[in-house]
Amino acid sequence: MNAISKNTTELNNLLSKEQQILFERASVLGGYKNLTDFILNIVQQKAEEIIKNNDLIIASEKDAEIFIDAINTVQEPSTTLKKAFADYNSLLTNKK
């Protein structure tokens, strides 16, 4: 018995009859060589999706931390900002 046949037999032993029929039909419709290739491909796709989503959540949490820290951290206005504020105020007072 070759490795693919052995793997397929072992896999079939793990599946209920309904699962086997469903998965085999999907593998044929999907153009896969065999049930093992189908299952490995689908499992890999799902694993990559889960990892990507987890990485996005982690990145989002880090971004949220940075944003909250920026809001909560009081900084002295820069010289440029102070000058811009003064210029703006002088424009307002000169209009009156």
The per-residue pLDDT for range 69-82, each reduced to its tens digit, is 888 888 889 999 99
| Contact between 34 and 41 (Cβ < 8 Å) | no
Helix (H, G, I), strand (E, B) or coil at 30: coil
User: Whole-model pTM?
Assistant: 0.54
Locate 55 and state its tokens: 């990485």
* Closest C-alpha among 75, 48, 87, 54 to residue 62: 54
| Contact between 30 and 46 (Cβ < 8 Å) | no
Looking at residue 1, what is its pLDDT?
53
Res. 59 pLDDT band, cuts 50 70 90: confident
* Closest C-alpha among 76, 52, 72 to residue 64: 72
**What's the number of CA atoms in the CB half-sphere (13 Å) around residue 85?**
6
Residue 56 has pLDDT above 80, yes or no: yes
